[in-house]
Structure 1
Amino acid sequence: MKFMKLGSKPDTFQADGKCIRYVISDLATDVTIIVGEVKFHLHKFPLMSKSNRLQKLVLKASEENSDEIDVVDFPGGPKAFEICAKFCYGMTVTLNAYNVVAARCAAEYLEMTEDVDRGNLIFKIEVFINSSILLSWKDSIIVLQTTKSLLPWSENLKIVGRCIDSIASKTSVDPANVTWSYTYNRKLSAPEIIVKGGMKYQEKIESVPKDWWVEDICELEIFLYKRVMTAVKSKGRMDGAIIGEALKTYAVRWLPDSVDALISDVHSWRNKLLVETIVCLLPSDKGVSCSCSFLLKLLKVAILVGVDDSAREDLMNRISLKLDEASVKDLLIPARSPQTTIYDVGMVHSIVNQCMINEKCSKDLDLGKNDVGCTDFVLGHGSLLSVGKVIDGYLKEIARDPNLSLASFIDLARSIPEFGRPVHDGLYKAIDMYLKYICRSI
């Protein structure tokens, strides 16, 4: 982590309980600054020599015959004010990724600008941010995380935007040129890989995966994550498959495993927002970059948390483009009230219908280009055979449901065209299973 030391004098700030801070000095303090619940007993001259705002506040207090100044809505609270006060006294303070935003916002509030004193705190912090923080991958992420509690100051000072741009730019760097540390737990056992600059070019290529950045930004809360991912996508240099992997990793990181936790009153709003955000950020290739299994799991969660219709339909359309990759287990979407069936057969039927529409459009395009017949279409679109196979397996699974109507069973079975089911063994097994359970229920 990068850090910057300011000042050279010893730190003589002392505490008297939790709410009193004072400076050890031969001179008696002559002003009390109140920040939140903390009172700072300080000296006017060092404060006024660096802060334009404190000059005005001290003057106003003097006119009112008061030695107390109550600073309202101070960004960063007492800790940030103490950093600024120590700087005014020339005492040693250390800035790092965790406190630099608070210090910058506090310095802005106190108007610690160059017209008050050359080399003032705002100038020094800006140098530190631009020359150190924004050049560091992990420090940029840490700083971005700290900006949330300091809004709107951090936004107005463009710290949020600068961090996002720095992070997004680094994700687009050629992996061979990544020389900083990053977290990667998904495929390697080591919790963190340190890539050093002295490695050979070929070793770097083999060591640094293209999605090296995915896990570190998962620590961002949803609003900041959305802005970072939007910036990454807008640069147009990131492969859609990596975007899909990033979204999957974020979903795994933040979505709870249990249904009760998903729909609990405490977290339901957050989970709904999270799913809608992930759907919004999905690559524009309509699902090509995300596995069908992930999209179907996301759809199940989307239904549970009650996302809006547009997000649900977007997921269904994406799934229809990759339905040949689905498994029967993935398609077992639990039905919601007022449905009486165990699984949402109607939704799967809608996905299959959309899949057939997609295939027809693809067929029409191929016929227009190549002027080939239906036989060539079937041979060129073997994915339909996989769709037929998985739907027959799905029919066999839902056949056990006593509340499944015959019409629903037949409609779904007929949604697969003949050339998508050249062999009917799977369908016969599903029909046999359905008849057995129907007979038992009579």
Structure 2
Amino acid sequence: MDVSCDLQVDVNGEQVFMVDKKVICSYSGRINKLIGKSKRGTRYLKVIFHDFPGGAESFELITRFCYSKGKIEINSVNVSTLYCAASYMEMKKSVSGNQNLFELTEKSLEDVRYWTWSELLDALRLCQNLMPVASSSGVIDKYLDSLIGRVASSCETSPCPSTSSADSSGFRLSCDTKSTESLRNSAFRATWWFEDLASFEPFLIETLVKQMVSKNIDHGLLSKFLFCYQKSRFSVADEKCKTMETVIEMLHLLDSSCISFKTLFGMLRITLTLKISKFSRNKLESMIGSQLDQATLDNLLLPSPVGSSYLYDVNLVLRLLKSFISKGACCVPLTRLRKVASLIDLYIAEVAPDPCLKPSKFLALIRSLPESARDSYDAIYHATVMYLEVHSGLSEEEKMNVCSGLSYEKLSSEACSHLARNKKFPSKSAGQALITQQVKLKSLLQETNQASPYLDSPCSLLETGSPGHEDQQIVLYAGKLDLSTENEKLKEHLQGMQWRVLELEKACRKMQNQMAKMLKSRISSHNNARSLPRLCS
């Protein structure tokens, strides 16, 4: 056959091939279309491909096939390249009755289930250089389907509940297996494929995990694989970002209870040095925030972003808290809510001495959780004391705003007493603390009198026209006074009243102890009387 070189083909700028137009056109529908659009009479034509799958090496295989009249050996090594190139060159239909390369390669791919594991991995790695045709043609899906089938068959997809969490040492294949050796073998059988897939590009991992999720592969196993993949892929900054974004995106598809909370926080610390997308960062923070009750104080003490003046990243903690109660505080179990409140109280105590922490941020931390999350506000009070000591330059209005985060009703008597004498606090706040304590004391006295109506209680002096009655009225109505303009004498008077209230509390406690002893004595004597012989009764 006479062969002429009347067609130039530039493949991805890598190499220019001189081929016989007639020979290539007899197999390729794509070349036929391009030649048909050219002007008639043109002796030499040139075709430029910018995205030929596999580049110059792949096109050379196509030319061999064409020049050998459709005779070529197809095996696991070259079938991916030939399949994608045939799809790109539109060789799906036989031209002039010649051999159809697409049909030949498609038939060869039916034997993928007989390939070895190594052949399957090599084919998938090769497909990474054949994108996007490898994806659109469906060849990647064929390989992944076979790969997932083998993974699933080797580590059954129904682990026992005791080992299905992401932090467990292994994933059991059989609930009957209890020995350490069996668990070790089970863990190996479940994770043996991790290292083999670590070399895959992020886009291939994304496709793989999505298909595994759709086929109900255990979420705990998938989360462990993603963490393993993330650790093994770190090299240059761009690759780190892409890998991290892919892992976060895939973890977000999984059940949060199957994801290691400790590892999530480790990823968060890594992202502080990376410029990952805001979308991915939000997803990571959302996953962490939903499990915030598992966090420790060390987890939260993350340094502030570069360029910030404050010590710790308070804004991050506020975002995590927002995620934690995203569905509403009423939807969060009270035990979890109070556990987070205790953690945040510790965090507030750590950040309070920061001289650069703005009052608005300090107050936002306190108000980030509803009042019902805390039984006591003593920890918040002590943190507020530290904050006001460090920020002594605040105005009276700013101090009052900071104190608005306190719940005076949930302060202990000792905290209220300390607040009333603390000159760092605004006078209105001190007065409010005294009023609250007085109301508590009155309620306590009423409960005591109801419990022992036959006893002459010294506390009843408050309810009569006793000398202390005027003091009580002053405390009860102190809220109507303008305490911001009171003089030093009034402050001393309020403090004196506070001490008298404390003395009354002591008297009440003493009375309650005496009453308890009396009741105990009466019960004891009654029992003794019943135990005496009838002759002595």
Deviation at 1:315, TM superposition (A): 3.6
Match of 1:78 among 56, 59, 63: 56
Opposite residue 233 of structure 1, the aligned amino acid is V
Match of 2:199 among 212, 216, 219: 219
Contact 2:245/2:280 (8 A) holds in 1: yes
Residue number in structure 1 paired with 2:80: 101
Residue number in structure 1 paired with 2:425: none
SS in 2 for 1:132: helix
Contact 1:52/1:116 (8 A) holds in 2: no
Contact 1:324/1:386 (8 A) holds in 2: yes
- Residues of 1 paired with 2:82 and 2:115: CA distance? 19
- Residues of 1 paired with 2:274 and 2:378: CA distance? 35
Deviations 1:368-408 (A, max 9, x none): xxxxxxxxx6xxx3x55653554344334434532124564
Deviations 1:169-209 (A, max 9, x none): 444334269xxxxxxxxx99xxxxxxxxxxxxx79963644
SS in 2 for 1:404: coil
Change (3 A) 1:297 1:433: farther
Q: Which has the higher strand share?
A: 1
Question: 1:56-75 to 2 correspondence within 5 Å?
Answer: 70-73=46-49, 75=53
Opposite residue 138 of structure 2, the aligned amino acid is K
Residue number in structure 1 paired with 2:518: none
Deviation at 1:125, TM superposition (A): 2.4
Deviation at 1:145, TM superposition (A): 4.2
Contact 1:154/1:160 (8 A) holds in 2: yes
SS in 2 for 1:343: coil
Residue number in structure 2 paired with 1:296: 265
Contact 2:352/2:383 (8 A) holds in 1: yes
Residue number in structure 2 paired with 1:9: none
Deviations 1:95-125 (A, max 9, x none): 5656433322334427386676676543442
Question: 1:92-131 to 2 correspondence within 5 Å?
Answer: 99-108=78-87, 109=89, 111=91, 121-131=101-111
Deviation at 1:325, TM superposition (A): 2.0
Question: 1:333-352 to 2 correspondence within 5 Å?
Answer: 333-336=302-305, 340-352=309-321
Residues 417-426 or 226-235, more deviating: 417-426
Asked if residue 233 in structure 1 is aligned to residue 202 in structure 2, the reply is no
Contact 1:135/1:166 (8 A) holds in 2: no
Deviation at 1:330, TM superposition (A): 2.3
Match of 2:141 among 161, 166, 184: 161
- Residues of 2 paired with 1:327 and 1:387: CA distance? 10
Residue number in structure 1 paired with 2:344: 391
Change (3 A) 1:124 1:313: closer
Deviation at 1:327, TM superposition (A): 2.7
- Residues of 1 paired with 2:382 and 2:313: CA distance? 21
Change (3 A) 1:40 1:413: closer
Contact 1:244/1:282 (8 A) holds in 2: yes
- Residues of 1 paired with 2:367 and 2:15: CA distance? 74
- Residues of 1 paired with 2:16 and 2:337: CA distance? 73
Deviation at 1:91, TM superposition (A): 11
Deviation at 1:77, TM superposition (A): 3.6
Residue number in structure 1 paired with 2:226: 247
Residue number in structure 1 paired with 2:256: 287
Deviation at 1:79, TM superposition (A): 1.8
Opposite residue 206 of structure 2, the aligned amino acid is K
Change (3 A) 1:143 1:428: farther
Deviations 1:293-328 (A, max 9, x none): 3333444527952633x6555444432331122233
Q: Which has the higher helix share?
A: 2
SS in 1 for 2:190: coil
TM-score by length of 2: 0.51
Q: CA RMSD in A?
A: 5.1
Change (3 A) 1:138 1:50: farther
Change (3 A) 1:249 1:205: closer
Residue number in structure 1 paired with 2:277: 307
Deviation at 1:227, TM superposition (A): 2.4
Opposite residue 89 of structure 1, the aligned amino acid is S
Change (3 A) 1:279 1:77: closer
Contact 1:287/1:318 (8 A) holds in 2: yes
- Residues of 2 paired with 1:152 and 1:410: CA distance? 52
Deviations 1:81-106 (A, max 9, x none): 33234444389976565643332233
Contact 1:114/1:123 (8 A) holds in 2: no
Deviation at 1:241, TM superposition (A): 1.8
SS in 1 for 2:259: coil
- Residues of 2 paired with 1:415 and 1:49: CA distance? 70
- Residues of 2 paired with 1:52 and 1:389: CA distance? 71
- Residues of 2 paired with 1:252 and 1:149: CA distance? 24
Asked if residue 402 in structure 1 is aligned to residue 355 in structure 2, the reply is yes
Opposite residue 51 of structure 1, the aligned amino acid is Y
Highest RCO, 1 vs 2 (Cα 8 Å, sep ≥ 6): 1
Change (3 A) 1:336 1:143: same
Change (3 A) 1:89 1:305: same
Change (3 A) 1:406 1:112: closer
- Residues of 2 paired with 1:81 and 1:402: CA distance? 67
Q: Percent identity?
A: 23
Opposite residue 172 of structure 1, the aligned amino acid is A
- Residues of 1 paired with 2:24 and 2:305: CA distance? 66
SS in 2 for 1:342: coil
- Residues of 1 paired with 2:254 and 2:42: CA distance? 69
Residue number in structure 2 paired with 1:51: 27
- Residues of 2 paired with 1:98 and 1:433: CA distance? 70
Match of 1:321 among 287, 290, 293: 290
Where structure 1 has 5 or more consecutive residues not aligned to the other structure, the ranges are 1-26, 178-186, 189-201, 364-376
Opposite residue 277 of structure 2, the aligned amino acid is V
Contact 1:296/1:331 (8 A) holds in 2: no
Deviation at 1:239, TM superposition (A): 2.1
Contact 2:27/2:94 (8 A) holds in 1: no
Residue number in structure 2 paired with 1:181: none
Deviation at 1:147, TM superposition (A): 3.6
Change (3 A) 1:98 1:429: farther
Deviation at 1:286, TM superposition (A): 6.0
Change (3 A) 1:93 1:396: farther
* Larger radius of gyration between Structure 1 and Structure 2: 2
Where structure 2 has 5 or more consecutive residues not aligned to the other structure, the ranges are 158-167, 170-181, 393-537
Alignment coverage as a number of residue pairs: 361
Change (3 A) 1:204 1:433: closer
Opposite residue 140 of structure 2, the aligned amino acid is V
Deviation at 1:345, TM superposition (A): 1.3
Deviation at 1:233, TM superposition (A): 1.5
Deviation at 1:232, TM superposition (A): 1.7
Opposite residue 412 of structure 1, the aligned amino acid is L
Contact 1:176/1:205 (8 A) holds in 2: no
- Residues of 1 paired with 2:184 and 2:109: CA distance? 28
Residue number in structure 2 paired with 1:8: none
Contact 1:81/1:103 (8 A) holds in 2: no
